[in-house]
Amino acid sequence: MGSDSALSSTKLAQIPTQEGESHTPSTALLSFSTDSSDPSNRSQKHTTTIFISLLLITCIALSAASAFAFLFFSSASSSSSPAPPQTSSSLQTTSRPLTKLNHPVVILISSDGFRFGYQFKTPTPNIHRLIANGTEAETGLIPVFPTLTFPNHYSIVTGLYPAYHGIINNHFVDPITGEVFTMRSHEPKWWLGEPVWETVANQGLRAATYFWPGSEVHKGSWNCPDGFCMFYNGSVPFEERVDKILSYFDLPSAEIPVFMTLYFEDPDHQGHQVGPDDPAITEAVAGIDKMIGRLINGLEKRGVFEDVHIIMVGDHGMVGTCDKKLIFLDDLAPWIEIPAEWVQSYTPLLAVRPPPGVAPGSVVGKINEALQSGKVQNGKHLKVYLKEELPSRLQYSASDRIPPIIGLLEEGFKVEQKRTQHQECGGEHGYDNAVFSMRTIFIGHGPQFAKGRKVPSFENVQIYNLVTSILKIQGAPNNGSLSFPGSVLLATS
């Protein structure tokens, strides 16, 4: 930059003489000021000298101004320009070696109901530290359908869609035995597939779970070991949960569990009460970030933060609901009566199982006729299907546990049996997983995650293979892609 400016100044200062020669300013001035041999021309030459001198001074001033402006604006431009993007040759391609641990470790964290975008509602320095130094699903993690807590948590750890792992809703009825599944059901017959902790135990390794749907169930080699498997108790402070996970890193290296889960009920708890846009959500998100900070600090004090793989996810998103977005089954009466005992789920997933002798296809036809008539309040916002006719992308038909009639509600709408005077606004989830408000987060940080990398959104059934790939263990058959981990994880050296 300096040599270019000097060259520019030199060119501007050169002044052509009458003979067509080029001289520097000092030479020209000397030539005119010493020429006094002809008295008759002295006055003319003096005038010419003054003119040339003024012209020369003007050119020098213009040259200096131009050089100054060039330097000034060049400096300003370079200081305000963003740093050039990384080229493909400079991106990290291989995983970082472990320095403190002698085997890979994964901590899988769930923040229930953490809708994608919540991380921007308030300062979340700890979550953003993981994002900045790790890998993030750029537009969020896609839950499975239905976008409910138990089906999604179990899909995350089995890699199976609900129709295949058996937990098709938070509550449902076995059509053969008539038994009812609730969120307190721990019998192995309900929980199909092989969750990660069972995969780990089957291979002689240690896992630890601090709350996760299905973790209390004895399956395969997993017997929910004392001290490494916590029975759900929502009253346990979040700090206590984090500290228990940290305590495992105080064990001898060979005894540290290779896989751990950590679960927080927030911000789902607040979301149901006030919807996704209330200040209570902001406060809850800040609280989760504080817990992530507590975990990071504890790992750093033990010198293992850079060795541990942290995968932070949610199970689903959240959308606001209000009474003006209600559909009442009693309003269908002119076309068909749907008794309450037929209904296994109202909102946001309408699930109906008619008694034997009542053809599901006929019921679907009459319900849709009513909904499309224009005479049922908000009817156009609900569409009812035979389960085998649901969009195939939902993967929600290959199980007898799924009732034969499924209704899909549009975002924010609810179904109730009959009109009441009860008025409320809050939040809900469970809708079609194509609805963007149902998306949640995926953040991966650790030796096998590239720093500052963004990956396209993906379904949470891919996480099982991601974990088994990090741990270098053989996974069970699942609905995820065996090649998927290669698109997210760094190559191991």
DSSP of 173-218, one letter per residue?
A: E-TTT--EE-TT---TTT--S--HHHHHHHTT--EEEES-TTTTS-
Alpha-carbon torsion 58, 61, 66, 67, what sign?
A: positive
Q: Taking a C-beta distance cutoff of 8 angstroms, is the pair 205, 228 a contact? A: no
Residue 262, beta-bridge partner list:
109, 210
Contacts of 212 (CB under 8 A, 6+ apart): 108, 110, 153, 157, 261, 263
389 phi and psi angles, rounded to 5 deg: -105, 5
What whole-number distance in Å separates Cα of residue 470 and Cα of residue 485? 9
Radius of gyration of the chain (CA): 35
Q: Taking a C-beta distance cutoff of 8 angstroms, is the pair 153, 110 a contact? A: yes
What whole-number distance in Å separates Cα of residue 35 and Cα of residue 181? 114
What whole-number distance in Å separates Cα of residue 376 and Cα of residue 396? 27
| Distance between first and last Cα of the chain | 44
Of 431, 384, 437, nearest to 410 (Cα)? 431
Where does 68-150 show beta strands of DSSP type E?
A: 105-111, 135-137
99 labelled catalytic: no
Task: Write the CA distances from 448 to 46, 183, 307, 379, 487, integer angstroms.
Answer: 82, 34, 9, 49, 12
What whole-number distance in Å separates Cα of residue 436 and Cα of residue 139? 9
Q: Taking a C-beta distance cutoff of 8 angstroms, is the pair 427, 272 a contact? A: yes
Q: What is the DSSP letter of 40?
A: G
Q: Which of 124, 147, 149, 468 is catalytic?
A: 149
Q: What is the DSSP letter of 85?
A: P
Amino acid, res. 235:
S
Task: Write the CA distances from 264 to 148, 172, 295, 311, 343, integer angstroms.
Answer: 15, 24, 13, 14, 31
What whole-number distance in Å separates Cα of residue 3 and Cα of residue 7? 6
Catalytic positions, written as ranges: 149
